[in-house]
Structure 1
Amino acid sequence: MKFTLSWLKDHLDTDASLDVIVEGLTRVGLEVEGVDNPAAKLAAFTIARVLTAAPHPQADKLQVLTVDTGSGEPVQVVCGAPNARAGLIGVFGAPGAYVPGIDVTLKVAAIRGVESRGMMCSERELELSDEHNGIIDLPADAPVGTPYATLAGLDDPVIEVSVTPNRQDCMGVAGIARDLAALGLGKLKTRPVELVAGTFPCPTEIRTDDPEGCPAFFGRVIRGVSNGASPAWMQRRLRAIGLRPISALVDITNYISFDRGRPLHVYDLAKLNGALVARRARDGETVDTLNGKTYTLDASMTVIADDAAVHDIGGIMGGEHSSVTETTTDVLLECAYFDPARIGATGRALGLNSDARARFERGVDPAFLEAGTALATQMILDLCGGEASEVVEAGKAPVPDKSVSYRPARTLGLAGVEIDEARQADILASLGFRVEKGAVWQIGVPSWRRDVDGEADIVEEVARIHGFDHVPSTALPRAEGVAKPTATAAQMIERRVRRTIAARGANEAVTWSFVAPDEAAPFGGGAWTLDNPISADLAVMRPSLLPGLLGAAKRNLDRGQSSLRLFEVGRRYLADGERPTVGLVLAGERTGRDWRTGKAAPFDAFDAKAEVLAALAAAGAPVERLQVMGDVSPWYHPGRSARLCLGPKQALAEFGELHPRVAKHFDLRGGAIVAEIFLDALPPARGAGKRTRAAHQPNPLQPVTRDFAFVVEAGASADALLRAVRGADKAAVIDAALFDIFEMGDGRKSLAVSAVLQPVERSFTDEELEALSAKIVAAAGKVGATLRA
């Protein structure tokens, strides 16, 4: 939101300096993003008079001027403007001045053999307008030698503030002035809007057939207008905030939109056919809008249409067909209230942003329809002439009658600051709230503050005006002695997992909990959808941590990163609730070169498995009892992924290669290795709060390793075989690991297993080792494995 200092002072009677105002804006929650004074970049340009103008000896279209700059001797300037003449008073730039419109710093130069010591400037060269037919021609009484910016009224700083979505009242300069007045930086200029009586019945029927999308539609006809250029002061303000002046009628609606936060629209009455109606669009209807594009509409959108066609995407942008021009003589003025959620949904669906949408989707003041119509009418009559019809009021604006119970002592409990009750009442009254004191105060909420719903909101209003800098820093009470841990068991697990994965070389990422619907779709879709998201790319809560991590991986790979190890600890949002989860993405190549090939190898599923097992071990999961199962979510590559389970119904993690279809969806040409650890599925620790692990006592006897080669079917699970070997004798067999796979080519494969046997009281005898080996072979036989000959 941009505005000029003089514009602010139209609504705020203040002597405060610019610096004080900027500081005050930030104090009340309107963070200042920048201050720019147009006069600063034009400080080098002064008013000058052309004394003589003679033809250039070497060029027909150039003239040689002598110019009185008011600083001493006249200077010689070569000029090609067709309106340059003796006696003209214009704007002069001396050598060394920077001309912003042409990005040139002036210097003494010879132009076709004639020296030129400066430049007479046009409006476009000074970025004042698009006018470039000649140099600036000022009135004859303009004082020569004075700064041009001062004469032109350009010494008016432009302030840009960041308005949060809940402060719809500050989308107009008047609302910003109200906050500053409440802060004590001046007095709010409250000028009531006088209604403009109509002199004839409105000749056009105006109605709303979509009371949900457009509850209220006010309008009137103004005939006999002259749509010329708007006044210079209005054009200056619009240009200062980045708007291009178009015509008086259009500029008036734009001005009121920024001045009062009230968008309006004017239609050329001669281009309308029949009644003007707010209704639902019909599927497939199209409209050519003022931005030069054509949009296809559907039945979820509210439009303004006549009997022939759609003329306006309600509350977002007007149509080209019924736009006003310099030949327009009769107009229909629209002042409507549109449902904020409908506006947001329509804008996102069409990918269409506008100043009107920014205001309507936050919620404009529903009580300002009548006054807004009158304000625009009066400005049109003052600047364009004509006469106005009676106002048609179709529908009824949803003006809230909201009251909040409030206890003044809550400022101490919620905001940490004690504020005198009289001061609180003054603050609330200055912000437009109605205060009724009693044992419990009743606070009437003004119509322009739809964001205020409860007592905490009132505390926030009081505290921000009183000043958050007055909130004291108070240490929390602490008992004597050693402080007890405050982190929960779940928080401690998250900390251990986070530190473990980071220590293994991965970088932690923090991505949005909101994602776009098309990003959530490959992961089952978003079960939690926002009713009125601020952006279409942040419309659903993530069903997995992988969309955000894959997006981060894509951005890093596009910028030349060759190896990525990213993880995040956060929440998934499923239909049955929030789920604490760890997400992991490995993309690109491993660091270092493979000793066998001399090249960097890409990540594979076993890299993710190693990370997952390390994290689960840190979380206290019984990794020695985990089973590897192949039934994984559909966003994993079948056959190159698995899940780690404690039984078929308790999955602790999934890992593997990302499905090629999903990789293509996220434009990851090299694919990715991904994993998710489901922290909410971890079994609870036994004997919570007590030691469950005995002190380590190394066995004095040396373990024995025996290798076995088993033949199994090609599709058999190595994990099942390893579990069978470990279970052959749980006291003696302390570990088993796979160290070789050999495809035999006849539908079978050989799995080489190394078993570690640990004696307890005495070393094994040969007979005991043979017996243990027989137990292992027998246990393997139960899962279909036979000893290889």
Structure 2
Amino acid sequence: MKFSLSWLKEHLGGDADLKTVTDTLTRVGLEVEDVEDKAGDLSAFIVGHILEAKRHPNADKLQVCMVDVGKGAPLQVVCGAPNARQGLKVVFAAPGTVIPVSGVKLGASEIRGVASGGMLCSSRELGLGDDHDGIMELPENAPVGRPFAPMVGLDDPVIEIAVTPNRPDCLGVHGVARDLAAAEIGELRDPVIKPIAGAFPCPTAVRFDFGDAEPLSPFFALRLVRGVRNGQSPEWLRRRLKAIGQKPINALVDVTNYMTFDRNRPLHVFDAAKVKGDLLVRRGRRGESFLALDGKTYAVDETMCVIADDNGVQSLAGVIGGAATGCDQDTTDVLIESALWDPLNIARTGRALNVNSDARYRFERGVDPAFALPGLELATQLVLEFCGGEASEIVSAGAVPERNLIIDFPVSEVRRLAGLDLAPAEIKATLGMLGFWVTGQGDRLKVAVPSWRPDIEGKADLVEEVVRIIGLDRVAATPLPAGASVSGARLSLIQRRAR
């Protein structure tokens, strides 16, 4: 699971720095595997300003540029990029700088008889993309002589954590922030998601058809947003997706990817103009196949759950969408889906077809069922903000399952299982900050488990939650009992002779 520090801070108030965040993550059981700090790696690269660009006297494809680097006299740099020109703000590397991609240390050089004191860099040379056709072009207001990384948003460290299979709630940035807030390094920002009133009935209905077989989906919700303009998503969203290795596609698709990583709420969008009739959620049928968004054709069978219209299968439920109803730049009406799927069936389907998607990864581990509708409302808000349009009422099939698990929890279990002697008030506060509902006085509490924690089943799980947040460092060191004295020799005569 990857996220940037600024992304996390959107959900976690306070002024905790990078070290505090990473140390706390590991302490509460979300082990930090890597921290990518490109600002530090690129600190030697600064903003330059080409004052003059003339053709090299001995080479038609080279130019001799005079570059202002913010101090001293302009430097002469020989450059072969076709877009190098007078007035351009560029990324400059002085002699002695190590180029990230090649590992080459720059030195003062002479190119075709002309001295060159540095280098003007492309995004590929900086490890920021594959573009090698020209040098990077920075905004006109970029301050000359200053580090360039903050100018393009590279001063935001990216943190990668290991999430164990029992913690699907931490496959979203919001869930990670909740754990850190419980560890008291900031406060959780959890604003109420306001429902959007539908302006008209949704023209596309949805229904289940599993016959006598076991249903593979408990709940499916859908809404139409008409009159959208599907272009690029905002720069901040594209930047966040790029930071974690996701490729921005268009605003509608980017919203679904953002919701997947921000809230652990995978969604899907259909181009409404390409959907024929209503949507039917059912088991697949032998002989059916569909072209998926990854460009591959998959054959389905009756063990798999699909979403179909009058034309046939349009999506492999909870795993991957179909290309036939995918959204593109011409999409003007979009159907937004938010559903719940059977985790075991999702895992079996993905394994059978060898499809590894971010949606599958989350659905097979478990998503918060209570967030299915709020997630649809939040996604609708983002679509309206980025693309405009008008939202319909929500149509749905099935019902959101409720897990009304209340655990009778003796406070003494913390002492018995973990050796921590804590006051009931501290235990209640810790569980409360993690989202548990706690009541009771004295040694016995009643604890209601939140919908996003499918891993909590009994008293021992609650003890584990308290200990990982309070900290193992507070568990007192206790020597093992000495027991009886060391017994005498047990070697036989032959063994002693062999020794």
TM-score w.r.t. length of structure 1: 0.59
Aligned position for 1:275: 278
Instruction: Report the Cα distance in structure 1 between the residues aligned to 2:44 and 2:438, rounded to whole angstroms.
Output: 53
Q: Note closer, same or farther for the CA distance 1:191–1:483 as it changes in structure 2 (3 Å cut).
A: farther
Give the Cα–Cα distance (whole angstroms) in 2 for the partners of residues 162 and 41 of structure 1.
24
Alignment of 1:297-696 (within 5 A): 297-438=300-441, 440-479=444-483, 481=485
Aligned partners of 1:208 and 1:215 also within 8 Å: no
Letter in 1 for 2:415: L
1:171 lines up with 2:174 in the alignment: no
With over 3 angstroms needed to count, the CA separation of the structure-2 counterparts of 1:433 and 1:77, relative to structure 1, is same
Q: Deviations over 1:529-554 (max 9, x none)?
A: xxxxxxxxxxxxxxxxxxxxxxxxxx
**2:44 matched residue in structure 1:** 44
Distance of 1:235 and 1:125 partners within structure 2: 21
CA shift, 1:440, in A, is 3.1
Aligned mates of 2:94, 2:275 — CA distance in 1: 53
**1:156 alignment counterpart:** 156
Pairing 1:83–2:83 present: yes
Offset from partner CA, 1:199-235 (integer Å, 9 cap, x none): 2221212223347212111111112222222222222
Specify whether residues 206 and 73 from structure 1 end up closer, same or farther in structure 2 by C-alpha distance, changes over 3 A only: same
Alpha-carbon offset, residue 472 of structure 1: 2.1
CA–CA separation in structure 2 for the residues paired with 1:215 and 1:483: 63
- Name the aligned partner's letter for residue 224 of structure 1: G
Q: Secondary structure at the match of 2:222?
A: strand
Q: What amino acid is the match of 2:75?
A: V
Distance 1:120 1:276, change over 3 A: farther
Q: Which amino acid aligns with 2:7?
A: W
Q: For residues 695-745 of structure 1, give each alpha carbon's deviation from its aligned partner in whole angstroms, at most 9, with x where no partner exists.
A: 99xxxxxxxxxxxxxxxxxxxxxxxxxxxxxxxxxxxxxxxxxxxxxxxxx
Cα deviation, 1:440-466, whole Å, max 9, x if unaligned, reads 321111000011111111111111111
Alpha-carbon distance between aligned partners in 2 of 1:240 and 1:453, rounded to the nearest angstrom: 36
What SS is found at the alignment partner of 1:239? helix
Higher relative contact order (CA 8 A, sep 6+): 2
- C-alpha change, 1:201 and 1:132, in structure 2 (3 Å) is farther
Q: Which of 225, 230, 244 is the aligned partner of 2:247?
A: 244
Cα distance in structure 1, aligned partners of 2:110 and 2:206: 66
Equivalent position amino acid for 2:88 in 1:
L
C-alpha separation in 1, matches of 2:13 and 2:283: 44
Q: Name the % identity.
A: 53
What is the identity, as a one-letter code, of the residue corresponding to 1:94?
A
The aligned residue for residue 497 of structure 2 is: none
Q: 1:220 to 1:132 in 2, by over 3 A?
A: farther
For the residue of structure 2 that corresponds to 1:151, the secondary structure is: helix
| Structure 2 counterpart of 1:45, one-letter code | F
Which residue matches 1:296? 299
Per mean C-alpha deviation after superposition, the further-off stretch among 307-316 and 170-179 is 307-316
SS of 1:138's equivalent in the other structure is: coil
Distance of aligned partners of 1:198 and 1:104 in 2 relative to their CA distance in 1, 3 Å threshold: farther
Structure 2 counterpart of 1:8 = 8
Give, in whole Å, the separation in 2 of the partners of 1:88 and 1:147: 16
Comparing 100-109 and 58-67, the one that deviates more: 100-109
Q: 1:345 & 1:108 partners in 2: Cα distance? A: 59
Structure 1 counterpart of 2:447, one-letter code = I
| Residues in 2 aligned to 1:90 and 1:135: alpha-carbon distance in whole angstroms | 7
Distance 2:453 2:471 in 1: 20
CA distance in 2, matches of 1:285, 1:149: 50
Task: Write the letter of the residue equivalent to 2:392.
Answer: S
Compared CA separation, residues 246 and 95, structure 1 to 2 (3 A): farther
Contact 1:208 1:216 in 2 (8 A): no
Give the Å deviation of 1:177: 0.6
**Per the alignment, do residues 146 and 473 of structure 1 end up closer, same or farther by CA in structure 2, a change over 3 Å counting?**
same
Determine helix, strand or coil for the equivalent of 2:62. strand
Give matches, 1:724-743, under 5 Å: none
Q: What amino acid does structure 2 have at the position aligned with 1:393? A: S
Partner SS, residue 290 of structure 2: strand
Distance 2:311 2:405 in 1: 41
SS at match of 1:399: coil
Report matched runs for 1:740-755 at 5 Å. Answer: none
1:310 positional shift: 1.8
2-structure distance, mates of 1:97, 1:266: 46
**Partner residue of 1:217?**
220
1:10 deviates by 0.6
How many angstroms apart in 2 are the aligned matches of 1:57 and 1:213? 72
Give the residue type in structure 1 aligned to 2:167.
Answer: R
Residues 149-178 of structure 1 show CA distances to partners (whole Å, capped at 9, x for unaligned) of 122221111111100000011000110110
Rounded to whole Å, the distance in 1 between the matches of 2:332 and 2:10 is 30
**Paired AA for residue 417 in structure 1:** L
How far did 1:408 drift? 0.6
One-letter amino acid of the counterpart of residue 349, structure 1:
A
Q: How does 1:171-210 map to 2 (within 5 A)?
A: 171-210=171-210
Letter in 1 for 2:460: A
1-side partners of 2:187 and 2:86: how far apart?
49
| RMSD, matched Cα | 2.2
- The one-letter code of the counterpart of 1:23 is D
CA contact (8 A) 1:199 1:390 kept: yes
Match of 1:623 in 2: none
CA distance in 1, matches of 2:153, 2:72: 26
Q: How does 1:700-739 map to 2 (within 5 A)?
A: none
Residue correspondence of structure 1 range 224-263 to structure 2 within 5 A: 224-263=227-266
Where does structure 2 lack aligned partners over 5 or more consecutive residues?
495-499
User: Which whole-Å CA distance do the structure 2 matches of 1:125 and 1:199 have between them?
Assistant: 51
Q: In the aligned structure 2, how far is the partner of 1:341 from the partner of 1:426? A: 35
Alpha-carbon shift at residue 480 of structure 1 (Å): 5.1
Q: How does 1:132-151 map onto structure 2 within 5 Å? A: 132=132, 134-151=134-151
In structure 1, the residue matched to 2:127 is 127
Q: How far apart are 1:416 and its partner, in Å?
A: 1.8
Greater Cα offset, 134-143 or 241-250: 134-143
1:506 maps to which residue? Answer: none
Deviation at 1:101, TM superposition (A): 4.9
Name the TM-score, length of structure 2 as normaliser.
0.92
Alpha-carbon distance, 1:128 to partner: 3.1
- In 2, Cα distance between the equivalents of 1:382 and 1:394? 27
What is aligned with 1:92? 92
Quote the Cα distance in structure 2 between the aligned partners of 1:202 and 1:122: 49
Report SS of the residue matched to 1:333: strand
How far apart, in 1, do the equivalents of 2:61 and 2:208 lie?
A: 60
**Distance in structure 2 (CA, Å) of the matches to 1:323 and 1:483:** 75
Partner Cα distance (1:101, 1:230) in 2: 29
Q: How many residues align?
A: 487
Shift of 1:105: 4.2
The equivalent of 1:534 in structure 2 is none
Change (3 A) 1:265 1:54: same
Letter in structure 2 aligned against 1:271: K
Q: 3-state DSSP class of the match of 1:78? A: strand
Instruction: Check 1:198–1:124 CA distance in 2 against 1; reply closer, same or farther (3 A cut).
Output: farther
Q: Which moved more, 1:206-215 or 1:172-181?
A: 206-215
